[in-house]
Amino acid sequence: MKLTGWGRYPQIETDLRAPRQESDLIDVARSGPLIARGNGRAYGDCAVNATKTIHMKHFNRMLSFDVGSGILVVEAGVLLADVIKVCLPKGWFPPVTPGTKFVTIGGMIAADVHGKNHHKHGSFGEFIDWIDLLCRDGEVRRCSLNANRDLFNWTIGGMGLTGIVLRAAFRLQPVETGWIRQRSHVAKNIDHAIDLFEDNLGSTYSVAWIDCMARGARLGQSIITLGEHAGREEIDAKALSMPRFPQRRRGRYIGIEFPNFTLNNLSVRCFNALYYWKGKSAAADRLVSWDSYFYPLDSILGWNRIYGRRGFSQYQCVIPLAQSRAGLHALLDCISRSGCASFLAVLKRFGKQRGKFSFPFEGYTLALDFPVTARSLDLMNKLDDITAHHGGRLNLAKDSRMSAEVLATMDDRVGKYRHYRKHQGLNQIFSSEQSIRLKL
Ligand SMILES: Cc1cc2nc3c(=O)[nH]c(=O)nc-3n(C[C@H](O)[C@H](O)[C@H](O)COP(=O)(O)OP(=O)(O)OC[C@H]3O[C@@H](n4cnc5c(N)ncnc54)[C@H](O)[C@@H]3O)c2cc1C
């Protein structure tokens, strides 16, 4: 069957297997090349191998939860949405979450996902106690900081190229309610936005939406949203008919594929103007539910269809702190001049990062969606040059187009990962279309 990532580009013909039992999985994984697949929310080709792709959807059981310590043990195919459904009413929330709840725990480990709290809490890998990994020799090994440490460290952020995660134990964070106290700030340009981030490093969550079509003195004008978990007394004091732990919203499904011209410069300009105006008028504190705050895009199921048949690509880079102002100026200037509209442009502040092959490091990360066209592919090549020039690198969970040469220029860890994979014989079994393209 044909398979894609969330960006629906590229499309790859593959033999998709979905074993139900661990013994079947071990049988299927005896010979490669193959790659594990979670819920297909990575944008590009990292969760597909043209020869064999192993869907983990049947490994979806929660195995144990300690309500005292917040330690959850799950199979790798469990969705984050289900973790929240079970654990939030008991007063526990994921310590780190990406911008969609429709990801599996295996996918979160392999991409070592980050959230809006990276500057304070780091990435998901920080909260993993152990992983049970199906290795190339068919053995299942428990990996942690105390046992099989190297394998543990390369697996977190290793994009599924060290083995198949079967189970994992991780720590959740205690919360008193399912509400977030949100405050928005208007930044008149990118320098102002960076100042606001730096002034608010104490906030648990922070993220900026950027109008990437603004130019000149308004280059990088944005709305910055800060968030804190609301305490029990805040909900009680409001005396509203607010349940302490609100349920997830019901999403609407886009059943049709939009024509390619739907997202053009005019529609993006209108959306940006509306969003900016709305953000300006909502500066005061307000309480929003966890689902609206963390997962605004999840309310429209299948939103990736609005880009039409050609699909889209997300460009996400991180620029080191010292180079962030210069790098972001150059990137935004290049984008606003290109005439390629990005409907979604998000800026976040990363803090310090552990991990052998994880994407983040301390600095600023910019993420933009572009419909795949000859023009946008050309633009993204130019953005690669700017990112590399400022010492930045790209997020492999979003990538669908970078070349091996560009990766090697941006990321000096590539040689070590390649060597580790070769030395352990991992490259003979575990590979994705992305790892083949990037010569990992
Ligand atoms: C709307 C949206 C918002 C997002 N926001 C963020 C964000 O804020 N921060 C962030 O970090 N990411 C973000 N992402 C990316 C997403 O979190 C990651 O791509 C995540 O890996 C997807 O999980 P998945 O289960 O869908 O995995 P897939 O997309 O199926 O696979 C992703 C990678 O994980 C590997 N993998 C999956 N399961 C296993 C397993 N059991 N064993 C070994 N390897 C495995 C695959 O081989 C592949 O390399 C976002 C994605 C979307 C669509």
The rounded radius of gyration (Å) of the Cα atoms in the chain is: 21
Using the mean position of ligand 1's atoms as its centre, give its distance from the Cα of residue 243 in Å.
31
Q: Which atom of ligand 1 lies nearest, measured to the CA of 133?
A: 42
What the block records as the tokens of 34 is 């193959």
Of residues 69, 337, 288, 323, the one with CA closest to residue 183: 288
Q: What is the mean pLDDT of residues 106-115?
A: 98
How far is it, in rounded angstroms, from Cα 3 to Cα 289?
A: 34
> Measured in whole angstroms, how far is the alpha carbon of residue 342 from the centre of its chain?
18
According to the model, what pLDDT value does residue 236 have?
A: 79
How far is it, in rounded angstroms, from Cα 309 to Cα 371?
A: 10
Using the mean position of ligand 1's atoms as its centre, give its distance from the Cα of residue 196 in Å.
29
Test site for ligand 1: of 3, 22, 79, 113, most ligand atoms within 8 A of the Cβ = 113
pTM: 0.96
> How, if at all, do strands 12-13 and 2-3 pair?
antiparallel
Binding-site residues, ligand 1, Cβ < 6 A:
6, 35-42, 46-47, 56, 76, 98-100, 103-104, 106-108, 110-111, 113-115, 159-160, 164-165, 297, 397, 432
Q: Which atom of ligand 1 lies nearest, measured to the CA of 104?
A: 25
Q: Tell me which DSSP letter residue 222 carries.
A: E
Q: Which atom of ligand 1 lies nearest, measured to the CA of 42?
A: 19
How far is it, in rounded angstroms, from Cα 112 to Cα 128?
A: 10
What the block records as the tokens of 431 is 């590979």
Q: Which atom of ligand 1 lies nearest, measured to the CA of 348?
A: 8
How far is it, in rounded angstroms, from Cα 327 to Cα 77?
A: 38
Residue 248 has pLDDT above 70, yes or no: yes
Instruction: Give alpha helix (H) positions in 281-323.
Output: 290-294
According to the model, what pLDDT value does residue 185 have?
A: 96
Query: What H or E segment, with its residue span, contains residue 435?
Result: helix 433-437
Residue 178 has pLDDT above 90, yes or no: yes
Instruction: Give alpha helix (H) positions in 156-308.
Output: 190-199, 232-238, 265-280, 290-294
User: Considering the chain, what percentage of its residues have pLDDT values greater than 90?
Assistant: 85
End-to-end CA distance of the chain: 25
Q: Which atom of ligand 1 lies nearest, measured to the CA of 116?
A: 8
Residue 358 has pLDDT above 80, yes or no: yes
CB atoms within 10 A of CB 230: 23
Minimum CA distance residue for ligand 1 atom 48: 47
Using the mean position of ligand 1's atoms as its centre, give its distance from the Cα of residue 111 in Å.
6
Minimum CA distance residue for ligand 1 atom 20: 107
What the block records as the tokens of 42 is 């990575």
CA distances from 339 to 209, 249, 333, 432 (A): 19, 35, 11, 33
According to the model, what pLDDT value does residue 276 have?
A: 66
Q: Which atom of ligand 1 lies nearest, measured to the CA of 124?
A: 11
Return mean pLDDT, the chain: 94
Using the mean position of ligand 1's atoms as its centre, give its distance from the Cα of residue 396 in Å.
10
According to the model, what pLDDT value does residue 280 have?
A: 67
Q: What is the mean pLDDT of residues 255-267?
A: 63
According to the model, what pLDDT value does residue 297 have?
A: 93
Tokens 């607010």, located at residue: 242
Residue 127 has pLDDT above 80, yes or no: yes
CB 47 within 8 A of CB 35: yes
According to the model, what pLDDT value does residue 18 have?
A: 98
Instruction: Tell me the pLDDT band of 249, cut-offs 50, 70 and 90.
Output: confident
Higher local confidence (pLDDT), 357 or 282: 357
Task: Look at residue 260 and give its three-state secondary structure.
Answer: helix
Residue 239 has pLDDT above 70, yes or no: no
> Which phi-psi region, left, alpha or beta, contains residue 227 (left: φ > 0; alpha: ψ -120 to 50)?
beta
**Any idea which of 115-124, 338-347, 349-358, 408-417 has the lowest mean pLDDT?**
338-347
Of residues 346, 414, 396, the one with CA closest to residue 110: 396
